[in-house]
Amino acid sequence: MDPDRRAFLRRAVAIGSGGLAVAASPARANSSSHIEAAPQAMGVLVDVVRCSGCRRCEAACAKANGLPEIDPEELEDQSLFEQARRPGPDSFTVVNRRTFNHDDGTSAVYVKQNCMHCVDPACVSACLVGALRKLPDGPVTYDAQKCMGCRYCMVACPFEMPAYEYARPLTPRVRRCTFCFDEDHANGGTIPACVQACPKECLIYGRREELIAKAHERVARQPDVYVDHVYGEFEAGGTSWLYLSPVPFEQLGFPPVAASSWPRLTESIQHGVFKHFMPPVAWCAILGLTAWLTRRREIPFGVDSASSDNGQVGRDRIAVVHGDVSRLEESHDEPQCAADILAR
Ligand code: SF4
Ligand code: SF4
Ligand code: SF4
């Protein structure tokens, strides 16, 4: 959904609620407290510098989640990068290419994108029936049996990650990365399939707080390689998926999301609705408007064009962006794979 459309919807919701959303209430006062990640919260650090764009993570994700499988030959098809893609009901994660002009020509970086599994998720807050749930371990889970299909979560998500199964009119679901969470898993979670599949150790699974420390270590050790920004440490109140990049994140198409926890708006609306007993017809009108505005989303997550010129990039970073990670491998920063994390 483009920003103008999103802004319009939020204004419409505010008007529809007759300003009730901003009414002071004990619930709203309580909701203003910042939710911190639990100590046991797990996450994934995505080091964009190391990504080769092989898309094996996509293939592993599809297989692990019972989605349409990706043939090995398909992974060789570079033409796929000519158009930016976004996660959808049949692909919980996608890798896009971003290109940059610089003095020596053009270089590219590859960016894996999926649900960020926010620390304080707006989608969870927006869901009126509790179909979405945040677990202390990190994942945001979804219960299709509870979902009423209002798609309000799609509007609330600052990263525009939930996708709707329009192709299943009778039993549509909201689909997004599951964090490969298995409700029956003894430890409450498992190493994501995409992490296990990545041959470049671009994806690191571990405790969120340790990943943040590791990310800052990498930046401090190689400031000529990385921008000094761990995306997801603070954005939207923090996310389980964290990113390191050789170029500013806006050049990767990441939305400039504020650091404050995102659910305040959506909680305010809900609390206003229930405190002031909004007439059901008004609420139905809002949900109807939401459904209409979210009926199709063609614009990729935070990406206007995978081939657009995003300006100049420092030469040192370009050396890495070219795909030569030897400098990284020469460093003392040994990449950690999922097995390393498990072995702890
Ligand atoms: S990225 Fe969006 S869908 Fe995923 S947890 Fe955050 S708010 Fe929810
Ligand atoms: S964590 Fe699992 S569901 Fe999410 S992108 Fe990785 S493989 Fe797919
Ligand atoms: S498997 Fe790893 S290197 Fe390959 S595209 Fe995915 S994140 Fe990048």
The 10s digit of each residue's pLDDT in 55-90 is 999 999 999 999 999 999 999 999 999 999 999 999
The protein residue whose alpha carbon is closest to atom 5 in ligand 1 is 117
Minimum-distance ligand 1 atom for the alpha carbon of 116: 1
Q: Which of 56, 65, 117, 142 to mutate to test the pocket of ligand 2 (most atoms within 8 A of CB)?
A: 65
Please give the model's pTM, rounded to 2 decimal places.
Answer: 0.77
Q: Tell me what pLDDT residue 21 has.
A: 33
Query: 232: Cβ–Cβ under 8 A, 6 or more apart, which residues?
Result: 116, 238, 239, 240, 241, 242, 243
Measured from the CB, is residue 95 less than 6 Å from ligand 3?
A: yes
Distance from Cα 263 to the centre of ligand 1, integer Å = 10
To the nearest whole percent, how much of the chain has pLDDT over 90? 57
Q: Which of 35, 176, 208, 243 to mutate to test the pocket of ligand 1 (most atoms within 8 A of CB)?
A: 176
55 CA to centre of own chain: 17
Tokens of 61: 């994700």
Distance from Cα 53 to the centre of ligand 3, integer Å = 5
Single-letter residue type at 111: V
Minimum-distance ligand 3 atom for the alpha carbon of 52: 3
Q: Tell me what pLDDT residue 330 has.
A: 41
Contact 137, 143 (CB under 8 A): no
Contact 273, 17 (CB under 8 A): yes
CA-closest candidate to residue 264, choices 15, 25, 59, 56: 25
Contact 156, 126 (CB under 8 A): yes
